[in-house]
A and B are shown apart, each in its own frame.
Chain A
């Protein structure tokens, strides 16, 4: 059967019959490499754990994040009934960390997702079309780049007023320029590759080329970068709450909790550090996860 397909006898050299090695799809092999990477796996489990205690907060704690009492103020870690201690108004810290994570994660992931859609679109357009339109998009983004991201977020929040929704909006605006820049760069690189030229030479439309040739090669790096932005987003959104621009008290949120526990740092330093520890842990996990994605997506790195 297979012999029949070789109608050019001179060229059998290259066709030495090797056993048909089953080659899996690209994303499947990426998944396999991810599973084999211990750091990424640990980090993923930690993130899943954090996700579980925040989304499933009522399952892991029976307390009320808003109820405290003057008698239970600033209890140390390990107090019976409050195993992570209590904050400055006597509210159970474990409960508040669980519920507070909801806000923190929301304020971290939603802005990056919004920025990913808008920034990714603008960047791919700017990178593929280039010319005047590309220049216009990139120069507008440069204007945003002139401000440090935290200052820009504070300024936008200051204009829009505080509250979670405005904080998310401000962060989205802050993350659009870096995402545009990264997607523009990778798209412009992909556009120059010969296979895009070859696709043009085969007479297919621009939309087909973007869909089949550009997006598939560009999405990976953009997603990796977006994941690493989540960790920045957690820190900035916590910073906004810390400054009183994001979530308003008495709602629990890690940045806000860090701020209000600040005064208690000499009384209960370990308790006061806990919200900060959660911010650090989550942010670092997202960062390491994006590193893991990056190396797993590198086709040529290993098999």
Chain B
């Protein structure tokens, strides 16, 4: 047998799991990032882009949390903030009970060993001068694994993501197809044996058939290595397929969150409903009749006061401009058990409006 199979099968209980299954893997509180816009004389700060504004959520162990929203709503910035590729302005990130970067917590580097990320662009996220195996072996080597062991681990991982190491280990990224490269990126993210993986539009650039293969692969790897996913996408179908819970973002804020069935069957926020209405139905007898959204999202440099969606919302009233709606349980109806459905909207009638109408 090849040495490539020597990777230990993960024990049912990960020794790194400190808080037990009830403790969230990731707890994000009031995360905020405002990018300064500089210009004019002397490069003064003339405005701020409120890319991510007071975002809070949690990711449970072993689940997949999907984040959806239009382009520019802050999904990717959130991912970068979590990996600390961008420093947050405010807010805390707690990884399995340890606050990241805080005294008494874990360092950013320790967090990064347990949380990895797959980027959208499969080509630019691989170093063109490194072979596939070198790219995968890079992080373990830099963390002190001997070169040969790191290379062996890279070959094992290639096999585990469905690429024959004999054929592909010594290839360069430009010699692979998009789907193959994304598999390499997944293998690279798994090389440090993380407990959580952030997938930032990881399948968005792939063909539909390849996308399906990669999604299945992600599902298998999750079960196999006990992973927790944060899955960022603009594709509502993909998010529905892969997620356990969903977070809907609009202009840097969370507008709705809850279990995937609950959100997809009874969306409460007018924005979520509009988002679903934009999804074309394939059944001519069930045409979407809900008004799709018109216009572009407002400029995040000067977002609307109060509820940020009010400028495009059919239900908007005076209160929407005055107060920021808190993320709370819906004003009517049920929350499902321990996984509450939360919505940021003041108006019961807006929340109560029918789900996606079908004539």
Contacts and interface: CB of A to CB of B under 8 A. Distances in A.
Interface of A: 1-2, 4-8, 10-15, 17-23, 26, 193-195, 197-205, 208, 212-213, 216-217, 299-300
Contact of B2 (A4, A13, A14): A4
B129 A26 contact: yes
A202 B138 contact: yes
A202 B139 contact: yes
B195 to A, nearest CB: 14
A300 B174 contact: yes
Which of A19, A20, A26 is most buried by chain B, counting CB atoms within 10 A of its CB? A20
A194 B127 CA distance: 9
Contacts of A299: 128, 172, 174
Contact of B159 (A7, A13, A195): A7
A22 B170 contact: yes
A204 to B, nearest CB: 4
Given A5-B164, A197-B119, 18 more contacts: A5-B155, A5-B159, A10-B217, A11-B213, A15-B167, A19-B167, A20-B166, A23-B172, A193-B124, A194-B120, A195-B127, A195-B135, A197-B125, A198-B119, A201-B112, A201-B116, A216-B130, A299-B174
Interface residues of B, number: 58
A14 B183 contact: yes
Contact of B217 (A8, A22, A213): A8
A14 B116 contact: no
Interface of B: 1-2, 4-5, 80, 83, 85, 108-109, 112-113, 116-117, 119-121, 124-131, 135, 138-139, 142-143, 155-156, 158-167, 170-172, 174-175, 179-180, 183, 185, 188, 191-192, 210, 213, 216-217, 220
Contacts of B185: 198
Contact of A201 (B117, B135, B161, B220): B117
B127 A11 contact: no
A204 B156 contact: no
A171 to B, nearest CB: 31
Contacts of B166: 2, 20
Nearest to A220: B129
Nearest to B126: A195
A237 B183 CA distance: 54
B330 to A, nearest CB: 36
